[in-house]
Amino acid sequence: MGTRGGGLYVGRRAAAAGAALLLALLVALLALAALYGRCRQEAAPPPPSSRAPGPAAPPAPAPAASSVRRLPRHLLPLHYDLELWPRVRPGQAGPFAFTGQVNITVRCLQDTDTAVLHSAGLRSSGAAAVRGPLSEPGAAVEVAGLQQEEAAEVAVLELRGRLRAGRRYVLQLGFQGRLEEDLDGLFLTRYTDRGRSSMLIASQMEPTYARRVYPCFDEPAMKATFNIRIVHDPSYVSLSNMPAIDVSEVKDENGSLWTVTTFNTSLKMSTYLTAFVICDFDYVTRTERGNEIRIWARKEAVKNGYVDYALNITGPIFSFLEDVLNISYPLPKTDLVALPDFGAGGMENWGLMIFQEASLMNLPSDEFTSRKAMIALVVSHELGHQWFGNLVTMSWWNDLWLNEGLASYFEYLGATFVEPKLSLDKIFYVHVVQPVLREDSEIVRSLSESEDKIKGSFSLMSLFDNITYSKGASITWMLSGFLTEKLFIRALTSYLKEFSFSNANQDDLWTHIQMVVDGQDEVQLPASVKQIMDSWTCQNGFPVLTLNLTTGTIRQEQFFNKKNRKNTDSYNNTWIIPVSWMRNGSSQPLTWLDKSSKMFPEMQVSESEYDWILLNVNLSGYYRVNYDQLNLKRLARLLETDPKAIPAVSRFQLIDDVFALTDFGYVPIETALELTKYLAKEDELFIWNVVLLNLIPDNLESTLKNYEVYPLLKKYLLKRMLPIYHYYAGFIHQNVDALEDDYFAQVYLEKLFATACWLGLQDCLDLSSELYAKWMDNPEHKIPFLIRKTVCCYGVAVGSDKEWNFAWKMYNHTDSVEEDEDILLYAMSCANEPWLLYRYLQYGLSDTLFSSNCTSAIISHVVTTDIGHHIAWEFVTENWPLLSQGYGQELLHDVLKVMGRFVKTDVQIQELQVFYNATLEEDEREAITLLLESAKLENIERRKLLIEVASWLEKNVDD
> Could you tell me the CA-to-CA distances from 647 to 435, 615, 653 in Å, in that order?
20, 12, 10
Residue 100: in which H helix or E strand, if any? strand 96-108
Closest CA to 59 of 95, 5, 111: 5
**CA pair distance 720, 673, nearest whole angstrom:** 13
How is residue 825 annotated by DSSP?
A: H
DSSP string covering 499-565, please? TTTEEE-HHHHHHHHHHHHHT-SS---SS-HHHHHHHHHSSSS-EEEEEETTTTEEEEEE---TTT-
User: Do β-strands 291-297 and 333-339 pair in parallel, antiparallel, or remain unpaired?
Assistant: parallel
- Proportion of the chain in helix, strand, coil states, percent, rounded to 5: 45, 20, 35
Query: Distance between CA 842 and CA 837 in Å, rounded?
Result: 9
Indicate the burial class of 926 (C-beta count within 10 angstroms; 0-12, 13-18, 19 or more).
Answer: exposed
Cβ atoms of residues 867 and 837 within 8 Å: yes
DSSP assignment, residue 760? T
Burial class (CB in 10 A: 0-12, 13-18, 19+), 295: buried
Distance CA 219, CA 72 (A): 11
853: exposed, middle or buried (Cβ count in 10 Å: 0-12, 13-18, 19+): middle
Residue 590 sits at φ, ψ, to 5 deg, of -60, 140
Query: Using CA atoms, how far apart are residues 228 and 73, in angstroms rounded to an integer?
Result: 25
One-letter amino acid identity for 210? A
522 is in an annotated binding site: no
| Sheet of 276-279, strands arranged across | 185-193, 196-204, 276-279, 237-240
- Given the DSSP bridges, would you call strands 624-627 and 543-548 parallel, antiparallel or unpaired? parallel
Query: Of 359, 388, 353, whose CA–CA distance to 376 is shortest?
Result: 359
Handedness of CA 210, 215, 219, 221 (dihedral sign): negative
Contacts of 385 (CB under 8 A, 6+ apart): 7, 348, 403, 407
For helices 801-811 and 818-827, angle between their N-to-C axes, nearest 10 degrees: 150
Alpha helices in 798-888 (DSSP H): 801-811, 818-827, 834-844, 852-863, 868-878, 880-886
893 is in an annotated binding site: no
Separation of first and last alpha carbons in the chain? 51
Amino acid, res. 716: Y
- Name the region of 943 (left: φ>0; alpha: ψ -120 to 50; beta: rest): alpha
CA distances to 426, 777, 795, 803, 843 from 806, rounded to whole Å, are 40, 10, 10, 5, 15
Buried b (16+ CB within 10 A) or exposed e, 25-57: bbebbbebbeebebbbeeeeebbbbbbbbbbbb
**CA–CA gap between residue 167 and residue 134 (Å, rounded):** 8
**Is residue 381 part of an annotated ligand binding site?**
yes
DSSP one-letter string for 838-853: HHHHHHHT-TTTS-HH
Angle in degrees, 0-180, between the axes of helices 685-695 and 709-734, rounded to the nearest 10: 150
Preceding amide of 316 cis, omega within 30: no
- Distance (Å, whole) CA 330 – CA 664: 49
Residues involved in catalysis: 382
- In 3-state terms, what secondary structure has residue 958? coil
Q: Which residues are annotated as a binding site for Zn(2+)?
A: 381, 385, 404
